[in-house]
Chains A and B, each alone.
Chain A
Amino acid sequence: MTLEQFSYDNKIVRNFAVATMVWGIVAMLVGLLIALQLPFPGLNFDAHTTFGRLRPLHTNAVIFAFVGNGMFMGVYYSLQRLMKARMFSDVLSKIHFWGWQLIIVSAALTLPFGITAGKEYAELEWPIDIAIALIWVVFGINMFGTIIKRRERHLYVAVWFYIATVVTVAVLHIVNSIELPISLTKSYSVYAGVQDALVQWWYGHNAVAFFLTTPFLGLMYYFLPKAVNRPVYSYRLSIIHFWALIFLYIWAGPHHLLYTALPDWAQSLGVVFSVMLIAPSWGGMINGLLTLRGAWDKVRDNVELKFFVVAVTAYGMATFEGPLLSLKSVNAVAHFTDWIVGHVHIGGMGWNGFLTFGILYWLIPRIYNTSLFSKKLAGFHFWIGTLGIMFYAIPMYFAGFTQHFMWKEFTEDGVLRYPNFLETVVQIVPMYKLRALGGFLYLTGALVMVYNLVKTAYSGKLIANEAAEAAALEKVYVAHDGSHWHRWIERKPVQLLIASLVVILIGGMVELIPTFMVKSNVPTIASVHPYTPLELQGRDIYVREGCYTCHSQMIRPFRFETERYGEYSKPGEFVYDHPFQWGSKRTGPDLHREGGRYPNSWHYNHMEDPRTMSPGSIMPPYAFMIEDDLDTTTTAAKIRAMQTLGVPYPEGYDAKANADLMKQADAISANLLKDGIKVMSNKEIVAIIAYLQRMGTDIKGEKNVEQK
Chain B
Amino acid sequence: MAAVFFNVIALNAQATKQAKLELPSMFDNGTLNIAVLFAIVLVLIVLALVKSTVSLSKVLSQNKGKVSAIALMLLSSVSAFSQGVAAATAMPNPLPDWVFNPAVYLLGFLFTILLVTVYVLYKVNINLLKAMNHDTEVVAQEELQTETEEEKAPGFMRRIYLRMVDSVPVAHEKDILLDHDYDGIKELDNNLPPWWIYGFYVTIIFGVFYLLIYHVSGAGKLQAAEYQQELAVAAQEKEARMRASADNVNEDNVTALADAELVLKGKETFERLCVTCHLSNGGGTVGPNLTDDYWLHGGGIKNIFKTITHGVPNKGMISWSSQLSPKQIQQVASYVLTFKGKNVAGGKEPQGDKWVEEVVAAKDTTAAKNDTTLSAQVNAKDTIK
| A residues at B contact (CB < 8 Å) | 78, 81-82, 84, 152, 154, 156, 158, 222, 225-226, 229-238, 240, 244, 259, 264-265, 267-269, 271-273, 275-276, 278-280, 282-283, 286, 290, 293-297, 299-300, 317, 323, 328, 394, 397-398, 401-406, 409-417, 419-420, 423, 427, 556-559, 562-564, 568, 596-599, 601-602, 605, 613-614, 675
Contact = CB atoms under 8 A, between A and B. Distances in A.
Contacts of A283: 196
Contacts of A295: 135-136
Interface string B198-213: 0110011011101100
A229 to B, nearest CB: 8
17 contacts: A78-B183, A156-B182, A225-B186, A229-B184, A240-B192, A275-B210, A278-B199, A278-B200, A279-B199, A282-B196, A297-B133, A406-B25, A409-B29, A411-B79, A413-B325, A427-B25, A559-B231
Contact of B185 (A222, A557, A602): A222
Contact of B204 (A259, A276, A596, A599): A276
Given A275-B207, A297-B132, A557-B223, A268 B188 contact: no
A414 B188 contact: no
A562 B276 CA distance: 23
A264 B325 contact: no
A156 B133 CA distance: 32
Across the A-B interface, give the 9 residue pairs with the lowest CB-CB distance, nearest first: A405-B30, A599-B316, A272-B207, A413-B325, A296-B131, A419-B323, A279-B200, A557-B227, A234-B190
B196 A286 contact: yes
Contacts of A296: 128, 131-132, 134
B192 A237 contact: yes
B116 interface: no
B323 A413 contact: no
B323 A416 contact: yes
Interface of B: 1, 5, 9, 25-26, 29-31, 33-34, 77, 79, 128, 131-136, 139-140, 167, 170, 173, 177-178, 180, 182-193, 196-197, 199-200, 203-204, 206-208, 210-211, 214-215, 222-224, 226-227, 230-231, 234, 237-238, 241, 272-273, 276-277, 285-286, 313-316, 318, 322-325, 327-328
Nearest to B326: A413
A275 B227 contact: no
A244 B75 CA distance: 39
A154 B187 CA distance: 13
- Which one of A231, A283, A559 has the greatest number of beta carbons of chain B within 10 Å? A231
B76 to A, nearest CB: 9
Given A264-B222, A397-B5, A559-B227, A231 B324 contact: no
Nearest to B178: A235
Contact of B238 (A152, A278, A414, A596): A414
A403 B26 CA distance: 9
Given A273-B207, A276-B203, A398 B31 contact: yes
Contacts of B314: 596
A415 B211 CA distance: 35
Contact of A226 (B134, B135, B184, B241): B184
A258 B234 CA distance: 23
A236 B215 contact: no
A411 B203 contact: no
A271 B170 CA distance: 39
Nearest to A226: B185
A420 B286 contact: no
Given A280-B200, A602-B316, A415 B324 contact: yes
Nearest to B190: A234
A294 B137 CA distance: 8
A423 B26 CA distance: 11
A268 B210 contact: yes
A234 B227 contact: no
A154 B324 CA distance: 70
A597 B77 contact: no
A90 to B, nearest CB: 21
A597 B135 contact: no
- Which one of A233, A294, A414, A598 has the greatest number of beta carbons of chain B within 10 Å? A294
Contacts of B199: 278-279, 282
A230 B1 CA distance: 29
B162 to A, nearest CB: 15
B47 to A, nearest CB: 24
A417 B272 CA distance: 12
B227 A231 contact: no
B273 A231 contact: no
Contact of A406 (B29, B182, B185, B188): B29
Nearest to A604: B286
B289 to A, nearest CB: 13
B237 A409 contact: no
Contact of A225 (B25, B185, B192, B208): B185
A144 to B, nearest CB: 18
A231 B223 contact: no
Given A268-B210, A297-B133, A154 B191 contact: no
Contacts of A414: 234, 237-238, 241, 325
A271 B139 CA distance: 42
